[in-house]
Structure 1
Amino acid sequence: MKSDKVVYFPDPNLRRVVGERVGKRPENITASALEVLEELDASFNHIADLTGLEWAVGLTKLDLKWNRIGDLTPLTHLKDLKHLDLSNNDIKNMGLLGSLTKLEKLQLEANNIEDISPLVELARLKKINLKNNRISQIGVLKKLPHLIEVNLSKNKIKSEEILPSLFECQPALIEAIVSQIPLYKGLEQHKQQAVVAYIHNPAKEEALKLLAETPVAAELVQNSLTESELERELGRILACPQTASQYVVEFIERTPFSSWDKVAFIEKWGSSQARETLEQVKITFLKRIKKSPIVVDEMPELAKRLEREIEQVMVEQFNKIDLPDEFIEAFMESKNMPLNKMNLIYQSGSKRAKLKAMEYQLAL
């Protein structure tokens, strides 16, 4: 009978772990011993080959985190798996996991996964961790009716790609994902709740309410408001003396309007209080640049407006003998610095700064 078969595990680390779990010497592990195994923790063992594990058909919980696994073929036989942890491995293709239709919890943090479309087969999935991969598209998530918890942080997902995928998702899932979107996760809880409420009811009236809560929502409500309506409403809010300074700050620092000159918009529409807030943002911006020039990449349109002031700050910094290497590197790496970098360093920088800049260029 197959159950009497001695199963060979090519990977010595997996062979040892399984032997210890079933209470047999590694060379005497039988299929019958594996078939009754319901749980197995083989984490942190440098395992690279899962061959042999296909005999453990009774497994419902399997922990394989922190190994060197790339090939998932043996797992396709484990049809009863409900909990599977493959975090911190070398997985690029998760396609084979689509056959594990009883999965309820799946951990895939810190791998090299780009395509998560195979998840569409996992209709029972409730929780999934996809943190720190290379994922850019998440539309498949709205096809998972029982999914209530997901971690998508540290991926290549842009907010404009996330939001359209949410309109058909379950309420709990929408709330979880919104809290991970860079534009929204830093907002107060009541503003995040407003975003979630709008996704459930994306009408013009709800869009206007959400825009009144936070200007960050402007990207989200573009399907409900025309461009002229959006501009007029934001102008009305910024012109109101009662509008909180924090609203103005969020408009300047966080709204992703690459085609808008937000500084000019406030100068045109903003109340005197809004314009005062803008001046404070400028001062804070210049102070932050003194610590790290890479800050210019956060607000490129503001950096262009402050070119003269930024140049003055950079000249002062590069005259310092003890300027940290990290500052020079950040200056060279900044993509939106409104200055000729090498000219400024050669004209104003110390000898050490010039050498460091030359090293950086040669390294490229």
Structure 2
Amino acid sequence: MVFTLSTPSFEQVLTADPEALRRFFKLAKELSHRYFGSRIRFYAPGFIGYRNRFFDSNPYSFPSISVTGSWCSLNCLHCRAKILEAMRPALMPNALYEACVEVKEKGGLGCLISGGCLPDGSVPLDRFLDVIGRVKRDLKLTVVVHTGLVSRSTARKLAEAGVDAALIDVLGSDETIREVYGLKASVDDYDRSLDALKEAGVPIVPHVLVGLHYGKLKGEVKALELIAKHKPSAVIVIAFTPIRGTPMEDVEPPKPLDIAKVLVIARLIMPSTPIVLGCARPKGLHRVKTDCLAVGLGVNAIAFPSEEAVDLAVKLGLQVAFSRSCCSQAWKDYLEAS
């Protein structure tokens, strides 16, 4: 189901006065509870250490693996491939399989397969797809994949391999794609990628990166509307986080309230789709504020939540559950619990 407000109405959420914004927040929460009940799920997969009085993550529960190591041809302004450095490298298919065997032997649930992009914005997955199929058949692990822009041929092969979800950052601004990614592509290319994955039968869990345009909101609403057309399994909202050693290290991230507004718009556009606050977002007090706003507006899941957000969820009487899986699997978890 897609909410029937027009685009200008969705944009109004971004500029709403405090009273109007409270009404939008209330509506988002009501829609969430109508479709999903008074529940929230918290995720702590192993690729980031997470330990508090509520939960203790296991580094093998759901690690991230890069099929390009720390290499990426795009070297986007906000990342410069720094994110890849924290992933386990697996440059050859046999290395990927061995990494997955280790995950299985250590009691892990699955893995995120990622990597840097080629100049066309795609992640070079094709030569790993046979092995991914073996991992699914032999090891029974959950496998989610960062695809970047994807062709119909690759989408079909991902479906044949049996991946549990395709994760793709969707941008709604051609200017941001050119300036920040340095990619000769357009919003239409993301539309075509989503269409290819959906047509192939791959569960899609698109990500919307709030504030990627130098910390400012630009194209997020358009990205959400584009995503809604393709009926995603879930939508993950993440936020630009300055990374040391990149050209955008001194750029101020979007405010917690701006991130919350995008979460509200996501709910209004896709009321029956799980809306998730993903792992990539600023830490510290910024995270506490963002997380608590997200809980208050009825988000369905949060990755690596602040303790304050968990406390708030309990205080509000929500049914709380923790998982060591990737937050992209929230849609499956809600289906199984319904």
Q: Which bracket does the TM-score occupy, shorter chain normalised?
A: under 0.3
The two structures have a TM-score, normalised by structure 2, of 0.26
Name the structure where helix makes up a greater proportion of residues: 1
Larger Rg: 1
Higher strand share: 2
